[in-house]
Amino acid sequence: MVAPESIVEAFEGAGYRLTSPRRALAALIAARTGHFTAEDLLAEANRGRHGPGRATIFRSLEVLAELGAVERLDLPSGGHAFVACEPAHHHHVVCSSCGRSTEVSDNGLEGMAEAIQRETGYRVDTHRLELFGVCPRCRSRAT
Amino acid sequence: MVAPESIVEAFEGAGYRLTSPRRALAALIAARTGHFTAEDLLAEANRGRHGPGRATIFRSLEVLAELGAVERLDLPSGGHAFVACEPAHHHHVVCSSCGRSTEVSDNGLEGMAEAIQRETGYRVDTHRLELFGVCPRCRSRAT
DNA sequence: GTTTTTGCAAACCATTTGCAGGGTC
DNA sequence: GACCCTGCAAATGGTTTGCAAAAAC
């Protein structure tokens, strides 16, 4: 869904050192088609015998989330997951069947935030929108 | 922000038994002006010496969230909190300074969901929108 | 009297942290 | 060579669970 290089570049561009655990992690993330949890990556890393360790995975995901190369999602279940993405403001629709996700511009939401600001008097600083549904592929397969 | 009775009624209406721990919890929740964590309630419950225990608090919050008497929030920090609310579809603007929150109709969002559906082909089932900012009171106080 | 709820404390699980050795710039 | 990064394993902190006693219906 995302090239491993773009993740490596995120590290690089922000002045982080290029290490083999980070390269390996980039590959693991790039190999994912949908959203994934830290646990998923960890399991995958342990499968191959030279994958990054638990601590590195968590630490790197945090960095990547800060850099915007990855976004943290709050699943309806209360758990956390991540999706690789382009570093621009946007949101995701996540397929609850296969986990695949698609980016969505927040076209319209900006306006809504302004309307809310006017109505409530709050100064709205940030928002998070998460959409969950079924992707086209799963819809047709489900038939 | 919400009357204790409305919470008690939520239990009642759904066929749950009315117990004193549940009444006490309803009062604790009603006393909150903003969002609160399970931990907050637990601390408060322990202050008075006959409050509900840890397990009951978590179990009840889960039930109330299911019933829609309370909504679970995902804070930007990654933690979880709750707000008491009316059981209708809506969203909240949460003040990051004092924790107070206000309900917001999702006026407009419905339309957005449809647009997204059309654009991406996903069938959108649910969404969660959380807004964070500074409430009027804190804005003026902050000057 | 039957069924639900509670409380306690132990179990859990994801995530974080301290620290010494190793790798990168 | 200096400083950043990693792995390990132990600590953490919020949330869940098993079970016997207590309360509601």
Exposure of A101 by Cβ count < 10 A (0-12 exposed, 13-18 middle, 19+ buried)? buried
Q: How much of chain A is helix, strand and coil, in % rounded to 5? A: 45, 25, 30
Greater confidence, A47 or A11?
Answer: A11
Please compute the mean of the pLDDT values over residues A108-131 and round it to a whole number: 84
Write phi, then psi, for B114 (nearest 5 degrees).
Answer: -65, -45
Return the pLDDT at B76.
79
pLDDT, tens digit (0-9, with 9 covering 90-100), for A59-72: 999 999 999 899 99
Q: Report the range out of A35-44, A71-80, A95-104, A108-117 with the highest average pLDDT.
A: A35-44
Which pLDDT does position B1 carry in this prediction? Answer: 66
Give the C-alpha separation, A18 to A50, whole Å. 16
* Residues of A in Cβ contact (< 8 Å) with B134: 122-123, 125
What mean pLDDT is predicted for residues A28-33?
91
Q: Which of B79, B76, B78 lies closest to B96 in space, CA to CA?
A: B76
Phi and psi torsions of B7, nearest 5°: -75, -45
Percent of chain A topping pLDDT 70: 94
Angle at the Cα of B72 from the Cα atoms of B71 and B78, rounded to 5 degrees? 155
Residue A33 in this model has a pLDDT that exceeds 90: no
Residue A143 has pLDDT above 70, yes or no: no
Å from the B54 CA to the D12 C1': 18
Measured in angstroms, what separates residue A104's CA from nucleotide C9's C1'? Answer: 47
Record the pTM. Answer: 0.82
pLDDT tens across B75-125, in order? 878 889 999 987 666 788 888 877 788 888 776 777 788 888 888 889 888
| Residue A64: exposure state from Cβ atoms within 10 A (0-12, 13-18, ≥19) | buried
Cβ contacts of A23 within 8 Å, gap of 6 or more? A4, A8
pLDDT at B50: 75
How many Å from the CA of B86 to C1' of C1? 38
pLDDT score for A88 = 67
Would you say the C-beta of A55 is within 7 Å of strand D?
yes
Q: Helix, strand, coil proportions of chain B in percent (round to 5)?
A: 45, 25, 30
Is B63 (CB) below 7 Å from strand D?
no
Give the C-alpha separation, A59 to A44, whole Å.
17
Taking CA–CA distances from B81, the nearest residue in chain A reads: A78
Distance (Å, whole) CA A119 – CA A125: 15
| Residue B75 or residue B4, greater confidence | B75
Nucleotide nearest to B56 (CA to C1'): C6
**Contact assessment for residue A70 and residue A137, using Cβ atoms and an 8 Å cutoff:** no
pLDDT at A22: 95
With contacts defined as CB-CB under 8 Å, which chain B residues touch A139? Answer: 121, 123
Q: Is the CB of B56 under 7 A from strand D?
A: no
List the single residue in A102, A111, A122 with the smallest CB-CB distance to B133: A122
From residue B139, how far is each of A10, A99, B95, B131 by CA, in Å?
Answer: 36, 40, 10, 16
Strand D contact at CB of residue B72, distance < 7 A:
no
Q: Which residues on neighbouring strands pair with residue B134, listed in sequence order?
A: A123
Q: Tens of pLDDT along B32-71?
A: 988 899 999 999 988 766 789 999 999 999 999 999 899 9
Report whether pLDDT(B24) > 90: yes
A60 touches strand D (CB under 7 A): yes
Cβ-based burial of A103 (10 A; exposed 0-12, middle 13-18, buried ≥19)? middle
Residue B143 scores a pLDDT above 70: no
Q: Give one word for A99, left, alpha or beta, with left for phi > 0 and alpha for psi -120 to 50.
A: left
> Chain D bases under 7 Å from protein CB?
4-10, 14-18, 23-25
**Helix (H, G, I), strand (E, B), or coil: what is residue B72?**
strand
Q: Give contacts of A126 with chain B, Cβ < 8 Å.
A: 76, 131-133
Average pLDDT over residues A42-54: 85
Q: Which of residues 15-34 of A touch strand C (CB under 7 A)?
A: 17-20
